[in-house]
Amino acid sequence: MTIRIGTAGGGTFGELHLQTFSLLQRQGRCVLAGLADPSEEIRGNRAEKYGVRTYSDVAEMIDREKLDAVTVATPDPAHLPVVLTALEAGCHVFVEKPMDVTVEGCRAMVDAARAGNRLLQVDFHKRFDPFHAQVREAVADGRIGEPLYGYAWMEDRIEVPSKWFPGWAPRSSPAWFLGSHMLDLFRWMTGGPRAVRVFATGARKRLSAMGVDTWDCLNAKIEFEGGLSFALDTSWVLPDGFEAVVNQGIRLVGTEGIAEIDSQDRGAAVCYGGATQQTINPGFQFVSTDPHGNPRYVGYGYDSIADFADNVNFLKEGGTLDSLAGRYPDGEDGLEVTRILCAIHESAETGNVVTL
C-alpha cells in the first residue's frame, strides 16, 4: 500500500517538502495527501501548484486524510505541539532542524516516538551531501586518522532574517537556524561524540537597529569528549549584495590527514537579466523540467526528505525501527544538537563557559 503523507507548514521549507512528495507521488512512492497551514494565502497557492488538499488545522488533516506520516516545517519554536500531535495520532514524523528550541521539548518528542514505536527523523540534510559523506567515510576507515579539531562557518545574507522570516527571526538566531546543521554534520562525520564544554560570544547590532531583535552572529568553541574540539561561526547579516544567499564550509583535521569543503563555491554561477552575478549551490536543490514537461527536483535538500518517505515505506512493508537504527538522523541526534545550542546561547548571554 502506498503511504499517505501530509505536511504541516507550507512556507519556504514546507514547499521543499511538497515538491519532493509531488515528485515521489508521480513515481508511485507516496501519496501527497494534505497540507496544514494557518495562512489562507499559502494554502491557496500550494493547492493550485501541487494539487494538494489543504487544512488550517493539523489534527483535522491527520484525521481526515488517514495519514501514515507527517512532515513538520513550521517555524522553529512551533515544532513541538505539531510533532506531538502527529506522534500521538500514530504517525511517523519528519521535522525540520532544530528539532526543538528546548532540551525538554526534544526529550518529549523522543519519548512520544519511543512510546508509539514511531519513526522520528530530523532534517539534517547536510548528511546527504556526497562531499560530506565522503569525509565521514574517510574518518571511518582511518584515512584522516584520529580527529583532532574542526571548524565550520555558515553565514546568510541579511535578507533571510529581515525579509524571509521577520515574524519569527526574533525567536531564533543564526546558531539555531544555521549552526544546527553544522553541529550535526561535525558529530556525524566524527562518530557522534558528546559535547562536554561550550564557550560562545556574539553581537546584536545590525538587526536590532532594523527592529529585528535577535543575534547578528554567534561564534562558539565546543569541546567534545576525548578532547576533540570544534569552532563554529554563524551569522545572518551578510550584505544582500553578497554573491550567495549562504556562505558555508567545513574543515576537519586528524592525526593523519585533513579535509576541507567549501560548500558555497561548487563552481556554478549565474547572471540573468543584468542582475548581480550569483554563486549557486546546485547540489542542494536544483529545479528543472524532465523530458515529459514535469518539474524535476534534484539535490541533497530533496534527498533528505525522500529518505524519510523511503523509511516509512520500509516500515509499512514490515521493516523495523531497530533495523533502521544509525541509518538516519534520529531524535537523539536532534536532542544532542539542541543541548549544545542551548549551551551556546547561555554562554553568549552570560560570558561563562558552560559545562554539559
- The pLDDT averaged over each successive group of 10 residues in the chain (356 residues) is 95 95 96 98 97 98 98 96 99 98 98 99 97 96 97 97 92 97 98 98 97 97 98 97 92 97 77 76 75 82 96 98 97 99 99 98
Which pLDDT score is estimated for 267?
A: 65
CATH architecture of residue range(s) 130-282+339-355: 2-Layer Sandwich (3.30)
Q: pLDDT of 133-188, one tens digit each?
A: 999 999 999 999 999 999 999 999 999 999 998 889 999 999 999 999 999 999 99
Which pLDDT score is estimated for 1?
A: 72
- The CATH number given to 4-124+291-325 is 3.40.50.720
| Alpha helical stretches, state H, the chain | 12-26, 40-50, 58-65, 79-88, 103-116, 130-140, 159, 174, 180-189, 206-209, 300-316, 321-324, 331-350
Which pLDDT score is estimated for 263?
A: 79
Query: What is the location of CATH 3.30.360.10 in the chain?
Result: 130-282+339-355
Which pLDDT score is estimated for 122?
A: 99
Which pLDDT score is estimated for 288?
A: 77
Query: What is the location of CATH 3.40.50.720 in the chain?
Result: 4-124+291-325
Smallest CA-to-CA distance from 130 within 9, 298, 256, 313 is with: 298
Determine the angle formed by the axes of helices 58-65 and 79-88, rounding to 10 degrees. 30
Smallest CA-to-CA distance from 305 within 103, 54, 19, 2 is with: 19
Which pLDDT score is estimated for 318?
A: 96
Compute φ and ψ for 304, nearest 5 degrees.
-60, -40
Q: How many residues does the chain have?
A: 356
329, with CB counted inside 10 A (0-12, 13-18, 19+), is buried
> What string of H, E and C letters represents the secondary structure of 10-76?
CCHHHHHHHHHHHHHHHCCCCEEEEEECCCHHHHHHHHHHHCCCEECCHHHHHHHHCCCEEEECCCH
